[in-house]
């Protein structure tokens, strides 16, 4: 047994799946869940955790693993709440989609205990959410990004690596700023694009017919437009500068395509579509 007690703070899709995967791999003697709403109780009913705790600090007391699965705006408060209760030698890690903000919040909230915190981000979102969407195999084959800081304890980092590998993920390490710039591009900005595509169609006169005649292309292109609005508002706001940089390069490319179309410049369209298609085919 790698951990005696794992505390999962926030047991929605991600936190609940971490709990399920830890149980499936038999990595913890006991799983304790906490959430401010009804998710923890639901997670207990679903068998994702063994019991719930009345507060985050209570959940963390006696735990040698603490996983933050809470939404971004809840993270700073949660870190302040648990700071006094974190046990010596415990590993604390998180699952947030942005890393710079979480790292700053953790450094400020945890103080002398900050070395036990290993910032993490499993690349395993889905458009469903809540504990009922949790699955033990969610991280199998997924990448998990860890962003260790200069203060991070080598032992904590090593245990975080081992934990994610045992949950089936491949672990990659990078700087928090590089993480945020990269994920603005491969995840955060594409969500804005999908929302804009859905929003423009929804506001138009063919909102109904377009649902009726949507083919596989539109279905795929807009799938993440069904994602949780508050969750994505918070991710985007937290990574605003990087996302707005992506907005700029996207708008430049989009304008070039619209200009070529308006001008009837077939060669230019084919040249730009070609470069795009080469990149996409390389994605496999």
Of 17-25, 32-40, 130-138, 239-247, which part binds its own copies (CB under 8 A)? 239-247
- According to the binding rule CB under 8 A, does residue 261 interact with its own copies? yes
DSSP assignment letter at 72: G
What sign results for the dihedral spanned by CA atoms 55, 61, 62, 68? positive
Q: Are 123 and 144 in contact (CB under 8 A)?
A: yes
Q: How far is the CB of 145 from its own copies (least distance, A)?
A: 8
- According to the binding rule CB under 8 A, does residue 257 interact with its own copies? yes
- According to the binding rule CB under 8 A, does residue 244 interact with its own copies? yes
Q: How far is the CB of 169 from its own copies (least distance, A)?
A: 12
Residues 70-129 interacting with its own copies (rule: CB under 8 A): 123-126
Q: How far is the CB of 262 from its own copies (least distance, A)?
A: 6
Question: Based on CB atoms, which residue is closest to its own copies, 26 or 270?
Answer: 270
Of 47-55, 102-110, 159-167, 250-258, which part binds its own copies (CB under 8 A)? 250-258
- According to the binding rule CB under 8 A, does residue 153 interact with its own copies? no
Tell how strand 120-122 and strand 143-146 pair up. Answer: antiparallel
> The tokens of 119 are what?
């910032």
- Torsion angle, alpha carbons of 213, 218, 219, 224, to 10: -140
Q: Are 39 and 29 in contact (CB under 8 A)?
A: no
- According to the binding rule CB under 8 A, does residue 2 interact with its own copies? no
* Neighbouring C-beta atoms of residue 133, cutoff 10 Å: 15
Residues 164-203 interacting with its own copies (rule: CB under 8 A): 172, 181-183, 185-187, 190-203
Q: How far is the CB of 267 from its own copies (least distance, A)?
A: 9
Q: How far is the CB of 265 from its own copies (least distance, A)?
A: 9
Question: Based on CB atoms, which residue is closest to its own copies, 88 or 216?
Answer: 216
Of 2-10, 22-30, 33-41, 260-268, which part binds its own copies (CB under 8 A)? 260-268
* Neighbouring C-beta atoms of residue 86, cutoff 10 Å: 21
Q: Closest Cα partner for 87 from 112, 109, 62?
A: 62
Q: Closest Cα partner for 126 from 43, 13, 40, 236?
A: 13
Mask for 216-235, x = binds its own copies (CB under 8 A): xxxxxxxxxxxxxxx-xxx-
DSSP assignment letter at 169: P
Q: Which of 55, 89, 140, 270: binder of its own copies (CB under 8 A)?
A: 270
- According to the binding rule CB under 8 A, does residue 132 interact with its own copies? no
Q: How far apart are CA 148 and CA 159, in angstroms?
A: 12
Q: Are 165 and 96 in contact (CB under 8 A)?
A: no
């Amino acid at each position: 047994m790698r951990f005696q007690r794992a505390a999962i703070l926030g047991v929605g899709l991600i936190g609940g799946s971490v709990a399920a995967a830890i149980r499936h791999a038999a990595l913890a003697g006991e799983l304790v869940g906490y959430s401010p709403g009804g998710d923890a109780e639901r997670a207990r009913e679903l068998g994702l955790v063994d019991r719930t705790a009345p507060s985050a600090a209570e959940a963390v007391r006696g735990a040698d693993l603490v996983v933050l699965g809470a939404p971004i705006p809840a993270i700073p408060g949660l870190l302040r709440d648990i700071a006094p209760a974190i046990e010596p030698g415990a590993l604390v890690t998180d699952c947030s989609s942005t890393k710079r903000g979480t790292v700053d919040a953790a450094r400020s909230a945890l103080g002398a205990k900050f070395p036990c915190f290993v910032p993490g981000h499993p690349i395993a979102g889905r458009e469903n959410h809540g504990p009922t969407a949790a699955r033990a195999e969610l991280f199998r084959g997924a990448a998990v990004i860890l962003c260790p800081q200069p203060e991070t304890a080598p032992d904590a980092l090593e245990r975080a690596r081992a934990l994610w590998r045992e949950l089936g993920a491949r672990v990659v390490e990078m700087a928090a700023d590089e993480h945020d710039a990269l994920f603005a591009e491969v995840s955060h900005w594409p969500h804005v694009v999908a929302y804009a595509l859905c929003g423009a169609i929804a506001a138009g006169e063919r909102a109904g017919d377009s649902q009726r005649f949507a083919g596989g292309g539109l279905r795929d292109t807009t799938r993440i437009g069904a994602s949780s609005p508050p969750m994505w508002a918070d991710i985007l706001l937290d990574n605003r500068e990087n996302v707005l940089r992506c907005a700029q390069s996207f708008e430049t490319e989009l304008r070039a395509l619209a200009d070529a179309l308006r001008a009837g410049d077939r060669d230019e369209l084919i040249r730009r579509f070609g470069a795009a298609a080469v990149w996409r085919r390389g994605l496999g």
